[in-house]
Amino acid sequence: MRNVLKTVLMIEKSNKKNIAACIIIAVFVFGLISFITTEEKGNLIKERTGDYQSVSSALYKFQIEDASENGDGSDLYKNLVRQQRVISTQRMAARVDRPALYLETSLELADLRDAAFKMDGFQDVALYLPTKTENQLQRVYYQELVNEGKSVSQNPLSFYQFLGYLFGIIGAGWFIFVSIYSCGILIEEFQHTSLIKGYPISFGKYVLAKCSSAMLMVGIFILLLFICSLPLIYFNGLGDSSYPVAVYSGSIEVFTTIKFIGVSVLYMLLIALFAILLSIILNMLLKNMYLTMFVQLLLYISPYLFPGMMAFVPWNPINYLNFSRIFNGETLDLATPAALYMSQGLITIGVCIVIMLFIIKAFFTAGKLKRV
């Protein structure tokens, strides 16, 4: 078994597919760094200006002659006017470097938005404002900063803060990446079983060796994310590994940045193993890597095509393949809200991995390779 694994790894080392995957990951990381720099992420003045413009767009929906507190505006209109004033104060606080005032007004803004959600006519302007879940995440985040005596981080390109941002978005495409990478696994063996008939091991052990080598490459891909981020330490420092990150996990909770990164890596490993085993099963049944890739992508987008099914079947592992969506609590804001959270996702994917391993073992003989 060890010799077979060594042989498989030697073959994989020079595989152009692996080299291309590493290049894609490196380009993604450096492209994200460039994007953050170009878009000035972390620039509080620019971010609050965007919020101000969004509220202004919402106010254009109203035809009001007297915008004063005692005027003819609705409660929602007056609430939006107050939001606009608070955002102006936020911009001023950011400009003159008064972090305490900035946090105070951020919490005040969250309170105003909470009140707006319950007012008549909110759905008419909901497009311009954060969702209820987004507002709750922001409130918990700012409150934690106040409790910890920290200020809002304005350097998203420090090492830990960048990794937090990176792992916060990579969940949206990780399953797709691994599915494309693994869609051809064992396809030649299933199409031409004579390829490994000379091996003095069972087909099951050969499959295990291929699966192990694929997971090792996945580990290298994840490690590459960290390696490509290392130059940021020199240019921007390590940052704060204990900086708070608000996530949804059955309720709104606060993780440290290092904990958030750790949970994200665990999710990535489980999703990668799920995708690889699914590729093996589909290749065994379909014997066509392009059909396998198509089926996997179709499964991935099914929660977007039929969002109501997520609440109806919450233990469906497909619901959790975009773990960024789970962390952000986006499923709570659907027309049919679905309370999906990370521990539930880890358990669901883990159980499905065990089931798929059992299916694969049941299909492959324990003796010499036979025709599938």
What is the pLDDT at residue 194?
61
User: What is the pLDDT confidence band of residue 15, given thresholds at 50, 70 and 90?
Assistant: confident
Q: Where are the beta strands (DSSP E) in 207-342?
A: 244-248, 252-256
- The per-residue pLDDT for 209 is 80
Residue 9 has pLDDT above 70, yes or no: no
207 vs 179: which has the higher pLDDT: 179
Residue 190: which residues within 8 A CB-CB, separation 6 or more? 283, 284, 287, 372
User: Hey, what long-range contacts does 349-356 have (CB within 8 A, 24 or more apart)?
Assistant: 349/270, 349/271, 349/274, 349/317, 349/320, 350/270, 352/274, 352/317, 353/270, 353/273, 353/274, 353/277, 356/274, 356/277, 356/278, 356/281
**Phi first, then psi: what are they for 131, rounded to 5°?**
-75, 170
Contact predicate 216/111, CB 8 Å: no
pLDDT at residue 14, as a whole number: 65
Please identify which residue in the block is written with the tokens 């060796």.
209
Q: What would the pLDDT profile of 118-135 be if each residue is shown by its tens digit? A: 999 999 999 999 999 999
Strand partners, 248: 252
Give the residue, 105 or 307, on which the prediction is more confident: 105
Residue with tokens 């391993």: 357
Cβ neighbours of residue 77 closer than 8 Å, sequence gap 6 or more: 59, 62, 64, 67
Does residue 110 contact residue 126 with C-beta atoms inside 8 Å? no
Q: How far apart are the C-alpha atoms of 159 and 171, rounded to whole Å?
A: 19
Neighbours of 251 (CB within 10 A): 11
The structural domains of the chain, with segments of one domain joined by +, span 2-40+157-363, 44-148
Rounded to two decimals, the pTM is 0.91
Residue 157's pLDDT is 95
> Which amino acid, one-letter code, is at 286?
L
Percent with pLDDT over 90 in the chain: 67
CA distance 245 to 144: 9
How far from each other are the two terminal CA atoms of the chain, in whole angstroms? 21
Say whether 150 sits in a helix, a strand or coil: coil
Directed axis angle between helix 2-13 and helix 203-229, to 10°?
Answer: 50
pLDDT tens profile 16-60: 889 999 999 999 999 999 999 999 898 999 999 999 999 999 998
**Residue 332, H or E segment:** none
Count CB neighbours of 352 within 10 A: 20
Among 53, 162, 128, 47, which residue's Cα sits nearest to residue 94? Answer: 47
What tokens were used for 292?
Answer: 């396998």
Residues 57-114: pLDDT tens digits?
999 888 765 556 666 678 899 999 999 999 999 999 999 999 999 999 999 999 999 9
Instruction: Answer yes or no: is pLDDT of 270 > 90.
Output: yes
Q: Rounded to an integer, what distance in angstroms lies between the CA atom of residue 151 and that of residue 59?
A: 31
118 within 8 A of 132, measured Cβ to Cβ: no
Rounded CA separation 199/79 (Å) = 73
Report the candidate in 15, 24, 88, 26 with the shortest Cα–Cα distance to residue 51: 88
Predicted local distance difference test score (pLDDT) of residue 12: 62
Please report which residue ranges of 60-131 form alpha helices under DSSP H. 75-95, 99-117, 122-125
